[in-house]
Structure 1
Amino acid sequence: MKLETLINQIRGGLIVSCQALDDEPLHGANVMPRMAVAAAEGGAVGIRANGANDIREIKKEVNLPVVGIVKRTYEGSPIYITPTMREVEEVALAGAEVVSLDATFRPRPNGIELSDLLEQIHRTFPELLVMADISTLEEGIGAADLGFDLVASTMSGYTPYTEHDPNPNFDLIEQLVQSVDIPVIAEGHIRTPEDAARCIELGCTSVVVGSAITRPQEITKHFVERLKMVRPTAKPSAR
Protein backbone atom coordinates (compact mmCIF):
# COMPACT_ATOMS: atom_id res chain seq x y z
CA MET A 1 0.00 0.00 0.00
CA LYS A 2 1.19 3.50 -0.75
CA LEU A 3 1.56 5.83 2.22
CA GLU A 4 -0.63 8.49 0.62
CA THR A 5 -3.45 5.98 0.18
CA LEU A 6 -3.22 4.92 3.80
CA ILE A 7 -3.19 8.49 5.09
CA ASN A 8 -6.25 9.36 3.03
CA GLN A 9 -8.07 6.45 4.67
CA ILE A 10 -7.08 7.08 8.29
CA ARG A 11 -6.66 10.85 8.53
CA GLY A 12 -8.46 12.28 11.54
CA GLY A 13 -9.92 8.89 12.45
CA LEU A 14 -9.76 6.14 15.02
CA ILE A 15 -7.72 2.96 14.72
CA VAL A 16 -8.97 0.34 17.16
CA SER A 17 -6.45 -2.05 18.67
CA CYS A 18 -8.07 -5.49 18.78
CA GLN A 19 -5.73 -7.61 20.85
CA ALA A 20 -6.05 -10.29 23.50
CA LEU A 21 -3.04 -11.95 25.08
CA ASP A 22 -2.87 -15.70 25.73
CA ASP A 23 -3.92 -15.35 29.38
CA GLU A 24 -6.85 -12.98 28.77
CA PRO A 25 -10.55 -13.96 28.65
CA LEU A 26 -11.13 -12.88 25.04
CA HIS A 27 -8.17 -14.74 23.59
CA GLY A 28 -8.93 -17.36 20.96
CA ALA A 29 -12.20 -18.62 19.49
CA ASN A 30 -12.08 -16.03 16.71
CA VAL A 31 -13.10 -13.27 19.13
CA MET A 32 -10.84 -10.48 17.85
CA PRO A 33 -12.14 -10.64 14.26
CA ARG A 34 -15.66 -10.11 15.65
CA MET A 35 -14.31 -7.26 17.76
CA ALA A 36 -12.88 -5.76 14.58
CA VAL A 37 -16.27 -6.01 12.89
CA ALA A 38 -17.83 -4.16 15.84
CA ALA A 39 -15.13 -1.49 15.60
CA ALA A 40 -15.72 -1.10 11.87
CA GLU A 41 -19.46 -0.74 12.42
CA GLY A 42 -18.70 1.95 14.98
CA GLY A 43 -16.71 3.95 12.44
CA ALA A 44 -13.10 2.87 12.97
CA VAL A 45 -10.78 3.67 10.06
CA GLY A 46 -8.25 0.94 10.81
CA ILE A 47 -7.40 -1.99 13.07
CA ARG A 48 -4.24 -2.81 15.01
CA ALA A 49 -3.88 -6.54 15.59
CA ASN A 50 -1.45 -8.95 17.21
CA GLY A 51 -0.48 -12.26 15.67
CA ALA A 52 -0.67 -13.71 12.19
CA ASN A 53 -3.84 -15.69 12.81
CA ASP A 54 -5.82 -12.72 14.12
CA ILE A 55 -4.52 -10.50 11.32
CA ARG A 56 -5.50 -13.05 8.69
CA GLU A 57 -8.98 -13.58 10.12
CA ILE A 58 -9.60 -9.86 10.63
CA LYS A 59 -8.70 -9.18 6.99
CA LYS A 60 -11.43 -11.64 6.00
CA GLU A 61 -14.03 -9.78 8.04
CA VAL A 62 -13.35 -6.07 7.56
CA ASN A 63 -12.27 -3.90 4.66
CA LEU A 64 -9.97 -1.68 6.72
CA PRO A 65 -6.19 -1.27 6.74
CA VAL A 66 -4.53 -3.36 9.43
CA VAL A 67 -1.48 -2.40 11.47
CA GLY A 68 0.02 -5.75 12.36
CA ILE A 69 2.37 -6.74 15.15
CA VAL A 70 3.61 -9.95 16.70
CA LYS A 71 4.47 -9.91 20.38
CA ARG A 72 7.29 -12.32 21.18
CA THR A 73 10.02 -12.27 23.81
CA TYR A 74 13.67 -13.13 23.26
CA GLU A 75 16.24 -13.78 25.96
CA GLY A 76 18.56 -10.85 26.51
CA SER A 77 16.32 -8.17 24.99
CA PRO A 78 13.42 -6.16 26.45
CA ILE A 79 11.91 -5.64 23.01
CA TYR A 80 8.82 -7.74 22.32
CA ILE A 81 6.77 -5.88 19.69
CA THR A 82 7.75 -7.36 16.31
CA PRO A 83 11.36 -7.67 17.45
CA THR A 84 12.92 -9.53 14.49
CA MET A 85 12.47 -10.26 10.81
CA ARG A 86 10.71 -13.50 11.72
CA GLU A 87 7.78 -11.55 13.18
CA VAL A 88 7.78 -9.04 10.32
CA GLU A 89 7.40 -11.89 7.83
CA GLU A 90 4.47 -13.30 9.81
CA VAL A 91 2.72 -9.92 9.73
CA ALA A 92 3.39 -9.36 6.03
CA LEU A 93 2.29 -12.81 4.91
CA ALA A 94 -0.90 -12.52 6.97
CA GLY A 95 -1.92 -9.54 4.84
CA ALA A 96 -1.39 -6.46 7.01
CA GLU A 97 -0.79 -3.20 5.18
CA VAL A 98 1.43 -1.84 7.96
CA VAL A 99 3.87 -3.53 10.31
CA SER A 100 4.63 -1.79 13.59
CA LEU A 101 7.73 -2.51 15.61
CA ASP A 102 9.48 -1.31 18.73
CA ALA A 103 11.94 1.37 17.61
CA THR A 104 13.18 2.39 21.04
CA PHE A 105 16.86 2.85 21.85
CA ARG A 106 17.18 -0.52 23.54
CA PRO A 107 19.13 -3.67 22.62
CA ARG A 108 17.40 -5.83 20.05
CA PRO A 109 17.46 -9.64 19.94
CA ASN A 110 20.69 -11.09 18.57
CA GLY A 111 22.26 -7.62 18.58
CA ILE A 112 20.67 -6.62 15.27
CA GLU A 113 20.68 -2.90 14.54
CA LEU A 114 17.33 -1.19 13.92
CA SER A 115 18.67 0.35 10.71
CA ASP A 116 19.63 -3.09 9.36
CA LEU A 117 16.23 -4.53 10.23
CA LEU A 118 14.43 -1.65 8.52
CA GLU A 119 16.58 -2.03 5.41
CA GLN A 120 15.80 -5.73 5.27
CA ILE A 121 12.05 -5.07 5.62
CA HIS A 122 12.06 -2.54 2.78
CA ARG A 123 14.07 -4.89 0.60
CA THR A 124 11.97 -8.00 1.30
CA PHE A 125 8.50 -6.42 1.47
CA PRO A 126 8.64 -3.17 -0.54
CA GLU A 127 4.86 -2.68 -0.41
CA LEU A 128 4.70 -3.02 3.39
CA LEU A 129 4.55 0.26 5.32
CA VAL A 130 6.61 0.35 8.53
CA MET A 131 5.62 2.17 11.70
CA ALA A 132 7.97 2.95 14.59
CA ASP A 133 6.65 2.49 18.12
CA ILE A 134 8.74 4.92 20.20
CA SER A 135 8.81 6.35 23.72
CA THR A 136 10.76 9.62 23.40
CA LEU A 137 11.16 12.51 20.98
CA GLU A 138 14.75 11.46 20.25
CA GLU A 139 13.60 7.97 19.30
CA GLY A 140 10.92 9.44 17.04
CA ILE A 141 13.38 11.71 15.26
CA GLY A 142 15.79 8.79 14.92
CA ALA A 143 13.07 6.61 13.38
CA ALA A 144 12.16 9.32 10.88
CA ASP A 145 15.81 9.75 9.93
CA LEU A 146 16.16 5.99 9.37
CA GLY A 147 13.28 5.96 6.90
CA PHE A 148 10.25 4.69 8.82
CA ASP A 149 6.95 5.56 7.11
CA LEU A 150 5.07 6.47 10.29
CA VAL A 151 5.86 7.03 13.95
CA ALA A 152 3.66 6.29 16.97
CA SER A 153 3.90 7.26 20.65
CA THR A 154 3.03 3.69 21.67
CA MET A 155 5.94 3.01 24.01
CA SER A 156 5.76 6.18 26.12
CA GLY A 157 5.42 4.98 29.70
CA TYR A 158 6.59 1.47 28.84
CA THR A 159 10.36 2.01 28.85
CA PRO A 160 12.35 2.43 32.08
CA TYR A 161 13.28 5.97 31.15
CA THR A 162 9.66 7.06 30.46
CA GLU A 163 7.72 5.18 33.13
CA HIS A 164 7.07 8.40 35.07
CA ASP A 165 5.94 10.40 32.04
CA PRO A 166 2.34 11.66 31.92
CA ASN A 167 -0.26 9.43 30.31
CA PRO A 168 -1.39 10.15 27.67
CA ASN A 169 1.83 11.95 26.80
CA PHE A 170 0.41 14.94 24.94
CA ASP A 171 3.72 16.80 25.18
CA LEU A 172 5.53 14.03 23.32
CA ILE A 173 2.78 13.84 20.70
CA GLU A 174 2.91 17.59 20.07
CA GLN A 175 6.72 17.58 19.88
CA LEU A 176 6.69 14.71 17.39
CA VAL A 177 4.23 16.52 15.14
CA GLN A 178 6.46 19.59 15.17
CA SER A 179 9.74 17.71 14.72
CA VAL A 180 9.31 14.95 12.12
CA ASP A 181 8.20 14.98 8.50
CA ILE A 182 6.36 11.65 8.64
CA PRO A 183 2.81 11.03 9.88
CA VAL A 184 2.44 10.82 13.66
CA ILE A 185 0.04 8.31 15.19
CA ALA A 186 -1.05 8.88 18.79
CA GLU A 187 -1.17 5.71 20.87
CA GLY A 188 -0.86 4.83 24.52
CA HIS A 189 -3.14 5.37 27.54
CA ILE A 190 -5.80 7.18 25.49
CA ARG A 191 -8.93 6.45 27.53
CA THR A 192 -11.60 8.96 26.53
CA PRO A 193 -13.01 10.58 23.38
CA GLU A 194 -11.67 13.87 24.73
CA ASP A 195 -8.15 12.42 24.89
CA ALA A 196 -8.44 11.22 21.30
CA ALA A 197 -9.81 14.54 20.07
CA ARG A 198 -6.94 16.42 21.69
CA CYS A 199 -4.43 14.23 19.84
CA ILE A 200 -5.99 15.16 16.52
CA GLU A 201 -6.07 18.81 17.53
CA LEU A 202 -2.32 18.58 18.20
CA GLY A 203 -1.78 17.51 14.60
CA CYS A 204 -1.73 13.71 14.67
CA THR A 205 -2.82 11.85 11.58
CA SER A 206 -4.78 9.26 13.53
CA VAL A 207 -5.34 7.87 17.02
CA VAL A 208 -5.03 4.27 18.23
CA VAL A 209 -7.20 3.18 21.16
CA GLY A 210 -7.17 -0.34 22.55
CA SER A 211 -7.82 -1.10 26.21
CA ALA A 212 -10.54 1.55 26.61
CA ILE A 213 -12.57 -0.14 23.87
CA THR A 214 -11.62 -3.80 23.49
CA ARG A 215 -10.45 -5.07 26.89
CA PRO A 216 -13.48 -5.43 29.17
CA GLN A 217 -11.38 -6.53 32.13
CA GLU A 218 -9.42 -3.26 31.98
CA ILE A 219 -12.55 -1.18 31.46
CA THR A 220 -14.17 -2.88 34.45
CA LYS A 221 -11.08 -2.35 36.58
CA HIS A 222 -11.11 1.37 35.76
CA PHE A 223 -14.68 1.70 36.99
CA VAL A 224 -14.06 -0.45 40.07
CA GLU A 225 -10.98 1.50 41.12
CA ARG A 226 -12.87 4.77 40.78
CA LEU A 227 -15.79 3.49 42.83
CA LYS A 228 -13.40 2.44 45.62
CA MET A 229 -12.57 6.12 46.05
CA VAL A 230 -16.18 6.93 46.95
CA ARG A 231 -17.67 6.24 50.36
CA PRO A 232 -21.12 4.70 49.92
CA THR A 233 -23.93 6.73 51.39
CA ALA A 234 -25.62 4.86 54.24
CA LYS A 235 -29.13 3.74 53.37
CA PRO A 236 -31.74 5.08 55.76
CA SER A 237 -33.09 2.33 57.98
CA ALA A 238 -36.63 1.17 57.28
CA ARG A 239 -39.29 2.07 59.82
Structure 2
Amino acid sequence: MHPLIAPLEGTLIVSCQAYPGEPLRDPATTAQIATAAQTGGATAIRAQGLEDIHAVKNAVDVPVIGIWKDGTDEVFITPTLEHCLAVLDAGSDILALDGTTRPRPDGRTLTETVHALREHFDGPLMADCDSLDSALAAANAGIELIGTTLAGYTTTRPKTTGPDLELLTALAEHLPETSALIAEGRIHTPTQAAACREAGAFAITVGTAITHPTTLTTWFHDAITRA
Protein backbone atom coordinates (compact mmCIF):
# COMPACT_ATOMS: atom_id res chain seq x y z
CA MET A 1 0.00 0.00 0.00
CA HIS A 2 1.27 3.46 -0.92
CA PRO A 3 2.64 5.37 2.11
CA LEU A 4 0.14 8.19 1.51
CA ILE A 5 -2.79 5.78 1.76
CA ALA A 6 -1.99 3.77 4.89
CA PRO A 7 -2.42 6.69 7.34
CA LEU A 8 -5.93 7.34 6.00
CA GLU A 9 -7.35 4.10 7.36
CA GLY A 10 -10.22 4.72 9.77
CA THR A 11 -10.04 8.49 9.34
CA LEU A 12 -11.97 11.46 7.98
CA ILE A 13 -11.21 13.14 4.65
CA VAL A 14 -12.85 16.53 4.18
CA SER A 15 -13.96 17.85 0.80
CA CYS A 16 -13.61 21.64 0.56
CA GLN A 17 -15.53 22.96 -2.43
CA ALA A 18 -17.69 25.97 -3.25
CA TYR A 19 -19.80 26.35 -6.35
CA PRO A 20 -19.45 29.17 -8.92
CA GLY A 21 -21.18 32.36 -7.86
CA GLU A 22 -21.21 31.53 -4.14
CA PRO A 23 -19.73 33.91 -1.55
CA LEU A 24 -17.07 31.39 -0.48
CA ARG A 25 -15.92 30.74 -4.04
CA ASP A 26 -12.37 31.96 -3.53
CA PRO A 27 -9.14 29.93 -3.38
CA ALA A 28 -7.90 31.76 -0.27
CA THR A 29 -11.17 31.06 1.51
CA THR A 30 -11.05 27.41 0.47
CA ALA A 31 -7.55 27.18 1.90
CA GLN A 32 -8.75 28.64 5.22
CA ILE A 33 -11.59 26.14 5.38
CA ALA A 34 -9.16 23.34 4.61
CA THR A 35 -6.87 24.50 7.41
CA ALA A 36 -9.81 24.53 9.82
CA ALA A 37 -10.73 21.01 8.73
CA GLN A 38 -7.18 19.81 9.33
CA THR A 39 -7.26 21.37 12.79
CA GLY A 40 -10.44 19.42 13.47
CA GLY A 41 -8.83 16.13 12.55
CA ALA A 42 -9.07 15.72 8.76
CA THR A 43 -6.26 13.51 7.48
CA ALA A 44 -6.63 14.63 3.86
CA ILE A 45 -8.37 17.41 1.94
CA ARG A 46 -10.26 17.00 -1.32
CA ALA A 47 -10.15 20.19 -3.39
CA GLN A 48 -11.69 21.16 -6.74
CA GLY A 49 -10.17 23.40 -9.36
CA LEU A 50 -6.58 24.26 -10.16
CA GLU A 51 -6.37 27.48 -8.14
CA ASP A 52 -8.02 25.91 -5.10
CA ILE A 53 -5.76 22.87 -5.24
CA HIS A 54 -2.68 25.09 -5.34
CA ALA A 55 -3.94 27.27 -2.48
CA VAL A 56 -4.91 24.30 -0.30
CA LYS A 57 -1.62 22.53 -0.96
CA ASN A 58 0.25 25.58 0.35
CA ALA A 59 -1.98 25.80 3.43
CA VAL A 60 -2.20 22.29 4.87
CA ASP A 61 0.19 19.57 5.95
CA VAL A 62 -1.99 16.64 4.92
CA PRO A 63 -2.38 15.05 1.47
CA VAL A 64 -4.47 16.93 -1.08
CA ILE A 65 -6.83 14.93 -3.27
CA GLY A 66 -7.31 17.03 -6.39
CA ILE A 67 -10.12 17.06 -8.92
CA TRP A 68 -11.18 19.37 -11.73
CA LYS A 69 -14.89 19.57 -12.51
CA ASP A 70 -15.22 20.73 -16.11
CA GLY A 71 -17.67 20.50 -18.97
CA THR A 72 -21.31 19.60 -19.42
CA ASP A 73 -20.83 16.01 -20.56
CA GLU A 74 -21.81 13.12 -18.32
CA VAL A 75 -18.17 12.66 -17.34
CA PHE A 76 -17.04 15.94 -15.78
CA ILE A 77 -14.85 15.03 -12.78
CA THR A 78 -11.27 15.31 -14.10
CA PRO A 79 -12.68 14.03 -17.40
CA THR A 80 -9.62 13.78 -19.65
CA LEU A 81 -5.93 13.01 -19.49
CA GLU A 82 -5.24 16.72 -20.04
CA HIS A 83 -7.33 17.58 -16.96
CA CYS A 84 -5.53 14.91 -14.94
CA LEU A 85 -2.09 16.26 -15.77
CA ALA A 86 -3.18 19.81 -14.93
CA VAL A 87 -4.51 18.68 -11.55
CA LEU A 88 -1.17 17.04 -10.82
CA ASP A 89 0.73 20.14 -11.90
CA ALA A 90 -1.42 22.17 -9.47
CA GLY A 91 0.06 20.21 -6.58
CA SER A 92 -2.24 17.27 -5.89
CA ASP A 93 -0.78 14.42 -3.90
CA ILE A 94 -3.62 12.12 -4.94
CA LEU A 95 -5.47 12.46 -8.24
CA ALA A 96 -9.19 11.70 -8.32
CA LEU A 97 -11.09 11.20 -11.55
CA ASP A 98 -14.36 9.82 -12.87
CA GLY A 99 -14.25 6.06 -12.40
CA THR A 100 -17.44 5.11 -14.21
CA THR A 101 -17.60 3.09 -17.43
CA ARG A 102 -19.19 5.96 -19.39
CA PRO A 103 -17.48 7.36 -22.50
CA ARG A 104 -14.88 9.99 -21.69
CA PRO A 105 -14.64 13.28 -23.63
CA ASP A 106 -11.18 12.53 -25.05
CA GLY A 107 -12.14 9.05 -26.23
CA ARG A 108 -9.77 7.24 -23.89
CA THR A 109 -10.98 4.46 -21.64
CA LEU A 110 -10.30 4.67 -17.93
CA THR A 111 -7.61 2.00 -18.30
CA GLU A 112 -5.94 3.90 -21.13
CA THR A 113 -6.01 7.07 -19.03
CA VAL A 114 -4.40 5.27 -16.10
CA HIS A 115 -1.67 3.80 -18.28
CA ALA A 116 -0.88 7.24 -19.71
CA LEU A 117 -0.84 8.79 -16.23
CA ARG A 118 1.63 6.24 -14.95
CA GLU A 119 4.19 7.65 -17.37
CA HIS A 120 4.09 10.90 -15.36
CA PHE A 121 2.87 10.05 -11.86
CA ASP A 122 3.52 7.21 -9.43
CA GLY A 123 1.31 8.51 -6.62
CA PRO A 124 -2.12 7.21 -5.66
CA LEU A 125 -5.15 7.52 -7.91
CA MET A 126 -8.77 7.66 -6.76
CA ALA A 127 -11.72 6.56 -8.88
CA ASP A 128 -15.10 8.21 -8.29
CA CYS A 129 -17.37 5.26 -9.00
CA ASP A 130 -21.11 4.69 -9.30
CA SER A 131 -21.53 0.91 -9.00
CA LEU A 132 -19.92 -2.39 -8.13
CA ASP A 133 -19.03 -3.01 -11.77
CA SER A 134 -17.31 0.35 -12.24
CA ALA A 135 -15.45 -0.03 -8.95
CA LEU A 136 -14.14 -3.47 -9.89
CA ALA A 137 -13.09 -2.18 -13.31
CA ALA A 138 -11.27 0.75 -11.71
CA ALA A 139 -9.48 -1.55 -9.29
CA ASN A 140 -8.54 -3.82 -12.18
CA ALA A 141 -7.10 -0.78 -13.99
CA GLY A 142 -4.71 -0.31 -11.07
CA ILE A 143 -6.45 2.52 -9.21
CA GLU A 144 -5.71 2.28 -5.48
CA LEU A 145 -8.56 4.32 -3.94
CA ILE A 146 -12.12 3.43 -4.85
CA GLY A 147 -14.80 5.97 -3.91
CA THR A 148 -18.59 5.78 -3.93
CA THR A 149 -18.73 9.43 -4.96
CA LEU A 150 -21.03 9.00 -7.96
CA ALA A 151 -23.39 6.33 -6.57
CA GLY A 152 -26.90 7.66 -7.13
CA TYR A 153 -25.78 10.32 -9.59
CA THR A 154 -25.85 8.13 -12.70
CA THR A 155 -28.40 5.64 -14.00
CA THR A 156 -26.70 2.60 -12.46
CA ARG A 157 -28.13 2.91 -8.94
CA PRO A 158 -31.03 4.74 -7.26
CA LYS A 159 -30.15 7.79 -5.20
CA THR A 160 -30.37 6.95 -1.51
CA THR A 161 -31.32 9.51 1.12
CA GLY A 162 -27.99 9.04 2.88
CA PRO A 163 -24.86 7.11 1.93
CA ASP A 164 -25.32 4.01 -0.21
CA LEU A 165 -24.55 1.48 2.51
CA GLU A 166 -25.70 -1.43 0.35
CA LEU A 167 -23.09 -0.59 -2.25
CA LEU A 168 -20.44 -0.03 0.41
CA THR A 169 -21.09 -3.47 1.86
CA ALA A 170 -20.86 -5.10 -1.56
CA LEU A 171 -17.65 -3.25 -2.37
CA ALA A 172 -16.09 -4.21 0.95
CA GLU A 173 -16.80 -7.84 0.11
CA HIS A 174 -15.69 -7.89 -3.52
CA LEU A 175 -12.88 -5.36 -3.95
CA PRO A 176 -9.34 -6.77 -3.87
CA GLU A 177 -7.28 -6.26 -0.72
CA THR A 178 -5.06 -3.85 -2.63
CA SER A 179 -7.95 -1.37 -2.92
CA ALA A 180 -8.84 1.19 -0.25
CA LEU A 181 -12.60 1.78 -0.16
CA ILE A 182 -13.57 5.43 0.38
CA ALA A 183 -17.16 6.21 1.38
CA GLU A 184 -18.27 9.48 -0.18
CA GLY A 185 -21.62 10.99 -1.02
CA ARG A 186 -24.58 12.17 1.09
CA ILE A 187 -22.85 11.55 4.43
CA HIS A 188 -24.58 14.23 6.47
CA THR A 189 -24.17 13.16 10.11
CA PRO A 190 -21.52 11.59 12.36
CA THR A 191 -23.84 8.59 12.76
CA GLN A 192 -23.91 8.06 9.01
CA ALA A 193 -20.13 8.40 8.85
CA ALA A 194 -19.75 5.74 11.53
CA ALA A 195 -22.17 3.48 9.66
CA CYS A 196 -19.98 3.76 6.56
CA ARG A 197 -16.96 2.67 8.54
CA GLU A 198 -18.92 -0.24 9.99
CA ALA A 199 -20.01 -1.22 6.46
CA GLY A 200 -16.35 -1.67 5.53
CA ALA A 201 -15.11 1.72 4.35
CA PHE A 202 -11.37 2.26 4.66
CA ALA A 203 -11.92 6.00 5.13
CA ILE A 204 -14.82 8.42 4.91
CA THR A 205 -15.05 11.65 2.90
CA VAL A 206 -17.47 14.35 4.07
CA GLY A 207 -17.98 17.60 2.24
CA THR A 208 -21.28 19.46 2.33
CA ALA A 209 -22.10 18.71 5.97
CA ILE A 210 -18.81 20.26 7.09
CA THR A 211 -17.77 22.85 4.52
CA HIS A 212 -20.87 24.19 2.76
CA PRO A 213 -22.74 26.68 4.95
CA THR A 214 -25.20 27.61 2.21
CA THR A 215 -26.57 24.08 2.08
CA LEU A 216 -26.46 23.69 5.86
CA THR A 217 -28.46 26.87 6.27
CA THR A 218 -31.00 25.58 3.76
CA TRP A 219 -31.43 22.38 5.76
CA PHE A 220 -32.23 24.31 8.93
CA HIS A 221 -34.38 26.88 7.11
CA ASP A 222 -36.47 24.21 5.42
CA ALA A 223 -36.94 22.27 8.66
CA ILE A 224 -38.08 25.36 10.52
CA THR A 225 -40.47 26.56 7.83
CA ARG A 226 -42.05 23.11 7.61
CA ALA A 227 -42.57 22.91 11.38
Q: TM-score, normalised by structure 2?
A: 0.94
Aligned AA (2:104): R
Structure 1: any 5+ residue segments left out of the alignment?
231-239
Q: Distance in 2 between matches of 1:164 and 1:202?
A: 18
The 8 Å contact of residues 126 and 145 in structure 2, kept in 1 or not, is answered as yes
Structure 1 residues 29 and 64, CA, compared in 2 at 3 Å: closer, same or farther? closer
Query: Partner of 1:207: helix, strand, or coil?
Result: strand
1:129 aligns with 2:127: no
1:55·1:68 contact (CA, 8 Å) conserved in 2? yes
Deviation at 1:111, TM superposition (A): 2.1
Report what 2:208 is aligned to: 211
More divergent stretch after superposition (160-169 vs 29-38) = 160-169
List 4+ stretches of structure 1 deviating above 4 A: none
Q: Which residue of 2 aligns with 1:190?
A: 187
Q: What residue in structure 2 maps to residue 101 of structure 1?
A: 97
Question: Given residue 170 of structure 2, which amino acid in structure 1 is its aligned partner?
Answer: Q
- The structural deviation recorded for 1:217 is 0.6
SS of residue in 2 equivalent to 1:123: coil
The answer to whether the 8 Å contact 1:7/1:205 transfers is: no
Alpha carbons 2:151, 2:159 under 8 Å: kept: no
CA distance in 1 between partners of 2:132 and 2:189 (Å)? 24
CA–CA separation in structure 2 for the residues paired with 1:32 and 1:88: 21
- After superposition, the C-alpha distances for 1:134-178 in whole angstroms (9 at most, x for unaligned) are 111111111111111110000011113324445310010111111
> What displacement does 1:130 show?
0.8
Match in the other structure for 2:88: 92
Which residue does the alignment assign to 2:169? 174
* SS class of match (1:6): coil
Q: Please give the alpha-carbon distance, in whole angstroms, between the structure 1 residues aligned to 2:95 and 2:222.
A: 35
Provide the residue aligned with 2:135 in structure 1.
140
Q: Secondary structure at the match of 1:199?
A: helix
Q: Secondary structure at the match of 2:42?
A: coil
Contact preservation (8 Å) 1:67, 1:97: yes
CA, structure 1 residues 137+166, in 2 after alignment: closer, same or farther (shift >3 Å)? farther
- How many residue pairs align between the two structures? 225
Partner of 1:9: 7
- 1:228 is matched with 225
User: In structure 1, how many angstroms separate the alpha carbons of the residues matched to 2:164 and 2:27?
Assistant: 34
Structure 1 range deviating more: 155-164 or 196-205: 155-164
Aligned-partner residue type, residue 186 of structure 2: H
> Does 1:200 find its partner at 2:197?
yes
Q: TM-score, normalised by structure 1?
A: 0.90
2: CA distance, partners of 1:165 / 1:214: 21
Q: Is the 8 A contact 1:82 1:101 kept in 2?
A: yes
Partner amino acid, structure 2, of 1:87: H
Larger Rg: 1
State the Cα distance separating 1:29 from its structure 2 match: 5.5
**What SS does the corresponding residue of 2:152 show, helix, strand or coil?**
coil
| Identical columns (%) | 37
What SS does the corresponding residue of 1:26 show, helix, strand or coil? coil
Describe the shift of the 1:31–1:67 C-alpha distance in structure 2 as closer, same or farther (beyond 3 A).
same
Q: Aligned residue for 1:33?
A: 31
**CA RMSD of the aligned region, Å?**
1.4
**Cα pair 2:27 2:51 within 8 Å, conserved:** no
CA contact (8 A) 1:18 1:214 kept: yes
| Cα deviations by residue, 1:62-101 (Å, 9 ceiling, x for unpaired) | 1001110001115xx3110000111111111122111111
CA distance in 1, matches of 2:25, 2:3: 32
Is contact 1:157–1:167 with CA below 8 Å preserved after alignment? Answer: no
Alpha-carbon shift at residue 25 of structure 1 (Å): 1.8
